Amino acid sequence: MKEMLFPEKMLNKWNEELDAILLSHDVEAFKTFYQKWMVRGIYNIPIPNSDVVIRAAMEKALFNRSTMPEAEKRKAETWLVSHGFTTEL
């Protein structure tokens, strides 16, 4: 995988978009974000086919991001555990 260096403005935009989408819990919005940044934009990594797998990845990311409010992290943890996942990345 090639290493990419983000200009600071682009990295800030990426983080803002990711935080907003993770807090929305919107799988379809995440697919659009992923398509924009991961498939077309940078790494060309295909998105998983399962919405449950995508949602689990979103909740794990939310739980492990320092920018997320603690109340949202607890909601993510509850969702993950109730669906048979852990919070570990």
For the chain, give every domain's residue range.
8-82
Going by the DSSP 8-state scheme, the letter that residue 45 receives in this structure is P
pLDDT tens, residue by residue, 24-60 = 999 999 999 988 887 665 677 788 899 999 999 999 9
CA distances from 48 to 17, 39, 53, 54, 76 (A): 20, 12, 7, 7, 20
CA 23/CA 30 separation, integer angstroms: 11
CA 69/CA 83 separation, integer angstroms: 21
Helix (H) or strand (E) holding 67: none
- The pTM score is 0.83
pLDDT tens, residue by residue, 16-26 = 999 999 999 99
For residue 1, what pLDDT is reported? 45
For residue 17, what pLDDT is reported? 93
What's the full length of the chain, in residues?
Answer: 89
Tokens of 26: 């919107």
Query: Radius of gyration (Cα) for the chain, nearest Å?
Result: 13
